[in-house]
Chain A
């Protein structure tokens, strides 16, 4: 069994063991409920093996929410520890454990909460918005989902079997090299990132091709909804950035497994090269998580202001400019590494330039609302919360882009405050806006507004309380990643931040209640078009049928559905047969095998890794030999579904 022994399970650590036991109990309870309701075959046939982009999207979002909660519990632990561990008190987390927690938190939040969330929303909305029946490669879509899920599983397993990485979410070498991190933690981290990275890459290909080749007749590029544009550019970023991460992590693994010297401190290795490669991916990555959210805000602002988006073209060009510029600024993450003033100045200026297109967008949203008839539904709450809060984060970002200021603030809690100030309003609030905006479309039920607004207020107040103190702490000189400190002036601020985190906890709790009441016995069915929408996803029933559109829509305007509503909607006179993809279990099997392969590699169980890799190869070959991958839905059936749908 390679390096794996029973001692890898930390039975002597009460915190980890209670988390593990909790997770196992929840899994058993879910399994029990499914068995009691005899839902296993339904779950397998209708969901896990489905190639329907809407269902894949929902599964992505579920994965994201589960991982968000996990990442948030890590955050609570860190906040509690830092609120206590001053001077003679050492809190409850030993350093090695604290290090694993911040590494897991950062990794999970970015790669297993934000990424699945945005890919899930893309899945739900993109084909509908462009008037397509599916994505370009439905099977590949399922493979992406299961690769992401199996990578997330690898991170979860590291909780109970062995350790997770202690080298931070960025895994800087040489700390992440074998000499300094001899346990399996870094290997869990690299393989999880590798598997998830391949999943994201495949999604990127899929959606780029979908957007370029599957649009409904009449939908020219300049008629695409802004969210489609945002997704388009996001995919370009994913495709250009992720291969660099793959390469950097592969080199790190070669160092660790085969004794090579890419990033070691001796034998001509170059640790700074790792930092360079990591941020070539890392900076675009933050735009990957934020651009889709910008797209969602644009849709929400236009819909709830009942106005055409202001400056459509400038929004598109601004997004394009951000896409290219984000590949020219990566050095700002290591201004202090020792490059000369000329290098630092060039990258500092490029960084400041990015603020311009971002500022353009802020004005687009403001002017869209200006003199609009703004309706304050919960998607709009998230949007307004974003606009106000994000501006602060953006300004601190411009501050950090000045190398001299960065030399002071780098590696302090000021930085932690800054990037949470970007990521929570900029990315997370955007996904929440999208979640509440498209929830009726995806599930067919309205999302409870009362709990949604309560959750919003907890989140926004909690955010300010939890993160503004960190700016102060940064100025007071507190470095990030501290498990213990000896400066009494810091403690009050950290206690304040812990209270903020408690408020956020209530926000998440209320979101849970919101989802439960919205899907529970008192649920309310949603109209096809509950928000008086402007784009094509609202032209289908809620939830849409498997084929989305019985007759492909003819697009005549930028706000395609609004224009249709003005012209008067006629139900079609005749229906045709529709080809839809058959479900396939092979995506799930590929995911399971990659998990086994990753686990084998982490623990040096070579036979397991080799067999799993071979299995993946065989599954891919057998899929390529399958002939009947599509099935025909006869026109009579389509007619029946359509007529039943309109009664709803």
Chain B
């Protein structure tokens, strides 16, 4: 790995650390709000499980794509990235559906502080996933057109870092928000 790539990866790692602290503030806020109530009545754990599976699998396919990138197999890599993209889109799709259902049933973010915190925390993660999808799309198109240049490779590995990082945040989300919230 070139020194320049290492520097960029390290800088990106530091950015991820700051993002972690952004999420920390939202988690702390949620924990404070959860003192006042519970969302267990309106979450559907089966859906959350499905979301989790989609995201975990997308992490795996993303890792496979990186393996093929290192072997310089452009087409195979793009295939696995496309799979990652689809799984990630599935996740966002389900999340939007869940949000829409909750709002329809009168549990929107304006309901009270707890729901504001719920929508903001889960939504911020969802927004990150969506930005990751956009980034993936742009990078895939660039690779398709220009081939696997070294700068694209280095960008791709940062994208993979981002993607795995979002999984970690999701682990915290389903543990604190959904599972802990569903314990009686």
Q: Do chains A and B touch in the complex (CB under 8 A)?
A: yes
Question: Are A209's CB and B11's CB within 8 A?
Answer: yes
Q: How far is the CA of A609 from the CA of B34 in the complex (A)?
A: 34
Chain B neighbourhood of A401, CB < 8 A: none
With contacts A247-B22, A621-B138 taken as known, whether A212 is within 8 angstroms of B113 at the C-beta atoms is: no
Q: Separation in Å of the B115 CB from the closest CB of chain A?
A: 8
**Which of B19, B22, B25, B113 touches A261 (beta carbons < 8 Å)?**
B113
Chain B neighbourhood of A82, CB < 8 A: none
Q: Which A residues from 185 to 220 make CB contacts under 8 A with B?
A: 201, 204-206, 208-209, 212-214
Question: Are B18's CB and A268's CB within 8 A?
Answer: no
Chain B neighbourhood of A137, CB < 8 A: 8, 11
Tell me if A254 counts as interface (CB < 8 A to partner B): yes
Q: How far is the CA of A260 from the CA of B107 in the complex (A)?
A: 12
Q: How far is the CA of A206 from the CA of B8 in the complex (A)?
A: 10
Question: Are B33's CB and A268's CB within 8 A?
Answer: yes
User: Given A214-B7, A261-B111, A268-B37, list of 13 further CB < 8 A pairs?
Assistant: A204-B18, A209-B14, A213-B10, A239-B18, A243-B24, A244-B21, A244-B24, A247-B26, A251-B29, A261-B112, A267-B110, A280-B25, A625-B142
Question: Are A270's CB and B33's CB within 8 A?
Answer: yes
Total number of A residues with any Cβ neighbor in B under 8 Å? 40
Q: How far is the CA of A64 from the CA of B144 in the complex (A)?
A: 46
Q: How far is the CA of A256 from the CA of B7 in the complex (A)?
A: 40
Q: Separation in Å of the B135 CB from the closest CB of chain A?
A: 9
**Which of B3, B14, B26, B110 touches A260 (beta carbons < 8 Å)?**
B110
Total number of B residues with any Cβ neighbor in A under 8 Å? 36
Chain A neighbourhood of B11, CB < 8 A: 136-137, 205-206, 209
Chain A neighbourhood of B120, CB < 8 A: 250-251, 254, 260, 262
Tell me if B54 counts as interface (CB < 8 A to partner A): no
Q: Separation in Å of the A263 CB from the closest CB of chain B?
A: 8
Partner-B contacts on A (CB < 8 A): 136-137, 201, 204-206, 208-209, 212-214, 239-240, 242-244, 246-248, 250-251, 254-255, 258-262, 264, 267-270, 273, 277, 280, 621, 624-625, 627
Question: Are B114's CB and A246's CB within 8 A?
Answer: no
Q: Separation in Å of the A623 CB from the closest CB of chain B?
A: 12
24 example contacts (A-B, Cβ-Cβ < 8 A) are as follows A206-B11, A213-B6, A214-B7, A239-B14, A240-B21, A244-B21, A247-B26, A254-B120, A259-B110, A260-B119, A260-B120, A261-B111, A261-B113, A261-B116, A267-B110, A267-B111, A268-B33, A268-B37, A270-B33, A270-B113, A273-B32, A277-B25, A277-B29, A621-B138
Question: Are A273's CB and B29's CB within 8 A?
Answer: yes
Q: Which B residues from 1 to 58 make CB contacts under 8 A with A?
A: 3, 6-8, 10-11, 14-15, 17-19, 21-22, 24-26, 28-29, 32-33, 36-37
Chain A neighbourhood of B117, CB < 8 A: 262
Q: How far is the CA of A201 from the CA of B15 in the complex (A)?
A: 9
Chain B neighbourhood of A250, CB < 8 A: 120
Chain A neighbourhood of B74, CB < 8 A: none
Residue of A nearest to B3 (CB): A213
Q: How far is the CA of A268 from the CA of B38 in the complex (A)?
A: 12
